[in-house]
Amino acid sequence: MENGETPENANEHCPGPSSEAAGKSDACQGCPNQEACATAPKGPDPDLVAIAERMATVKHKILILSGKGGVGKSTFSAQLSFALAAKDFQVGLLDIDICGPSIPKMLGLEGQDIHQSNLGWSPVYVESNLGVMSIGFMLPDPDEAVIWRGPRKNGLIKQFLKDVYWGELDFLVVDAPPGTSDEHISIVQFLQATGIDGAIIVTTPQQVSLIDVRKEVSFCKKVGAPVLGVVENMSGFCQSLTDFRFLRMTETGEHTDVTEKVIAYMREKAPEMLDIIAASEIFDSSGGGAAKMCSEMGVPFLGKVPLDPQLCKAAEEGKSCFPDQKCRVSAPALKIIIEKLMTNYWPSEMSVE
């Protein structure tokens, strides 16, 4: 428990040895350190001073949250970082999803290592103005499970914040795990003194996802983190008609691919159809989706991003969806959301841009 560090063998949801509740809270019952924590001197965590010094060179800090996993939160974090870097901002992307670090793949950085200097840990750079830090760079085997209790996860998040040398940053994007667990409490607690711009919450349209997003909004309000807005991801499946496969089902239930025939027929008989975007609802949005929920909870709705196979492919390949025209349905939607964020929250940065 040196320097107020939480012991690795502490119970889950440990309040920390420097907390006034140390050794006294319900979470402390049965912990081998309970007596030592209860009698230890209390005081401010000295690491918070080191974190404040590191974060003093970071202008804006944005948390990316989601109520559930699998809604595209990390994809949004990655593409937001690509977009901000493309505007010539200095950008850092911090992945605190300890058990499921997907950011290295989505930024095309798999297999990279972290290097240390006299200034601290150096981020891994995609471009000269886009640096990334993730536990994914520290695992000897990418298939290895990270089986850690809360205190050890919190210790690594603290180490990321106080030991990573980002230099001067315009934006630090923090990709958090889904839900409202120890990692979320820790990142807010560690960054509170340095100021958090707020959180962007990513969801899908159906009620089973929105139920948990409501909890996420409630969490933000309780810890004092402003909600910058909610993004409805996978809002309908959209794809160019020519990117579909067309199948004919036989009487035995087998499928025959007739794509070439259909495209050739359209090209000859109805060439105007070749530019049509086909759309379909994958998730039930009859309840009003994220827009209605935002209205009810009094938080901003940032917009919708369709489920675009080309965006999925860009994430798999670790690329930005913006430079070319392949992501023709998702990239414009993301641009609108990012421009709305810039206009609403960082207009001074836009004037510099």
Is 70 annotated to bind ligand? yes
Is 321 annotated to bind ligand? no
Is 304 annotated to bind ligand? no
DSSP 271: G
Is 240 annotated to bind ligand? no
Is 108 annotated to bind ligand? no
The residues, ordered by sequence, that sit 6+ positions from 33 with a Cβ below 8 Å of its Cβ are 1, 7, 9, 10, 17, 23
Strands 255-257 and 247-249: antiparallel
- Measure Cα distances from 186 to 92, 156, 227 in Å: 19, 10, 17
CA distance 323 to 331: 9
Enter the tokens of residue 307: 């489920």
Handedness of CA 38, 41, 43, 45 (dihedral sign): negative
Is 99 annotated to bind ligand? no
Strands 115-117 and 91-95: unpaired
- Of 223, 219, 262, whose CA–CA distance to 242 is shortest? 262
CA distance 39 to 185: 25
Is 25 annotated to bind ligand? no
Is 18 annotated to bind ligand? no
Is 195 annotated to bind ligand? no
DSSP 164: B
Indicate the burial class of 179 (C-beta count within 10 angstroms; 0-12, 13-18, 19 or more): middle
What is the helix (H) or strand (E) element at residue 344, kind and residue range? Answer: helix 330-345
- Of 262, 184, 186, whose CA–CA distance to 15 is shortest? 186
The distance of Cα 118 from the centroid of its chain, to the nearest Å, equals 29
The distance of Cα 80 from the centroid of its chain, to the nearest Å, equals 9
Is 31 annotated to bind ligand? yes
- Of 236, 99, 234, 103, whose CA–CA distance to 179 is shortest? 99
- Of 59, 8, 55, whose CA–CA distance to 190 is shortest? 55
Helix, coil or strand: residue 4:
helix
Binding residues: 14, 28, 31, 37, 67-74
Could you tell me which residues are annotated as the binding site for [4Fe-4S] cluster? 14, 28, 31, 37
Annotated binding-site members for ATP: 67-74
